[in-house]
Amino acid sequence: MNALARGAWGLGLAACLALGLAAAEAEKPAAEKPAKEKPVTFGPPAGARWEVLPDFTDEFEGKALDRKKWHPTNPKWQGRQPGWFAPENVTVADGNLVLAMKREDRPNLPEGYHTYTSAAVKSTRTVMYGYFEVRAKPMKSRGSSAFWFYDNAPDRWTEIDVFEIGGGSPGHERKYYMNVHVFRTPEEPNRHWDKPVVWEAPWNLADDYHVYALEWDKDRLRWYVDGVVRRTQENTHWHQPLYLNFDSETMSEWFGLPEAGTLPSTFRIDYVRAWKRADGQAPAGKGDAARGG
C-alpha cells in the first residue's frame, strides 16, 4: 500500500471510530448524563401556618424592577461615602436582581462622594414579623453585599442585619456577619447599641449562590443559612415595622476600599420570598405614601 493509500485508510478508520464513540455515547442511559442542577429552596419552618407576603416576594423574572414594590435606590440615603448609590447600577437580568459596584468618577456628585458608585434597593412598604428568604450570591470585591431591615422614624430607629458580607475582602471571604441595632427609642433616645455575631462558613461566600433567611416574630429572631439556624436572638426591641433593603456599600474601615481590578462587581439576588404567620401575629406595615417616604 503506498503512502497516499495508507493516509486515506487511516483517516477512514479514525472517522469510523469517532462515529462509533458518538453512537455509543448517544445510547447511554439518561441516568448516566449529569442532570442540570436546580436551586435548593427551603421556605418557612414547619409547625405553623404561613401565608405569602406578596409585597415582599419577587422572583425577578421580568426585565425591570417592579417599582410598586421596590425603589432602585434609598430615597433617604445616598450611600456610605465615598460610594454613591446610582439607580442605574440596579438592574434585573437573567432572573436576578443585580446590584453593581463600579469604579468611576461622576461629575457633580454630592460632597464626599467620589471614585465609586454602588447600589441600593429599598422596599416601598414596611413590614413587621415574618419569614424572609433570599437566594443570593455576594459580590467578590471589598464592596459589601447586604440584606437588612430598618426604619428611621422620629421616635424609634431600629435595624436588623440579616447579613453583611465582604466577599472579596482578605480575611472576610467566609465570614457571615449578622447584627441588630437600636439607634433610638423613647426609652433610650440618645443611645446606639448593637449585638453583632459572626458565623464562619466552610466555603467562600462569594463563590456561589446560597439561601439566607430571617425568621422574625414577637419573641425571637433566627438567622438561617441553607436551612440551618446560625443564630437565635431574643426579640427585646424589634417591634417596629421596617423596610426591607439590599445594598452594596464602600466600608473602608471594615472591608477596605475595592481595588480597581475587582470592579465592576455584582451582588445577585435570585429571589426574595416572604411569609407571615397565618395566625395573624402581626400585620404588614404601611406604604411610603402613608409614612412619608
CATH number at residue 132: 2.60.120.200
Would the pLDDT of 267 be above 70? yes
Q: Are 120 and 85 within 8 A, CB to CB?
A: yes
**Averaged pLDDT for residues 196-211:** 98
* pLDDT, tens only, 95-109: 999 999 999 999 999
What percent of the chain is modeled with pLDDT above 70?
81
5 domain residue, yes or no: no
Would the pLDDT of 245 be above 80? yes
* pLDDT, tens only, 125-134: 999 999 999 9
Per-residue model confidence (pLDDT) at position 248: 98
**Averaged pLDDT for residues 233-245:** 97
141 domain residue, yes or no: yes
178 domain residue, yes or no: yes
| Bridging pattern class, strands 116-127 and 70-71 | antiparallel
- Cα angle vertex 42, ends 205, 283, to 5°? 105
> pTM value?
0.84
* pLDDT, tens only, 148-159: 999 999 999 999
Cα distance between residue 212 and residue 205, in whole Å: 11
> Which of 13-17, 47-51, 118-122, 213-217 shows the lowest per-residue confidence on average (mean pLDDT)?
13-17
Q: Phi, psi at residue 55, to the nearest 5°?
A: -70, -15
Residue labelled with grid coordinates 436582581: 97
**Tally of domains in the chain:** 1
44 domain residue, yes or no: no
Residue-range definition of the domain harbouring residue 269: 55-60+122-283
* pLDDT, tens only, 21-48: 344 443 333 333 333 455 666 899 998 8
Per-residue model confidence (pLDDT) at position 279: 81
Q: Are 253 and 268 within 8 A, CB to CB?
A: no
168 domain residue, yes or no: yes
Q: Cis check for the bond before 44: say yes or no (omega within 30 of 0).
A: no
282: cell is 402581626
**Averaged pLDDT for residues 49-60:** 97
Per-residue model confidence (pLDDT) at position 286: 60
Per-residue model confidence (pLDDT) at position 252: 96
pLDDT confidence band for 172 (50 / 70 / 90): very high
79 domain residue, yes or no: no
Provide the strand spans (E) within 108-256: 116-127, 130-137, 145-152, 157-165, 175-184, 193-194, 197-200, 210-216, 220-225, 228-234, 242-248
Paired residues of 91 in beta bridges:
98
175 domain residue, yes or no: yes
Per-residue model confidence (pLDDT) at position 190: 87
8 domain residue, yes or no: no
Q: Could you say which DSSP state residue 115 is in?
A: S
Would the pLDDT of 282 be above 70? no
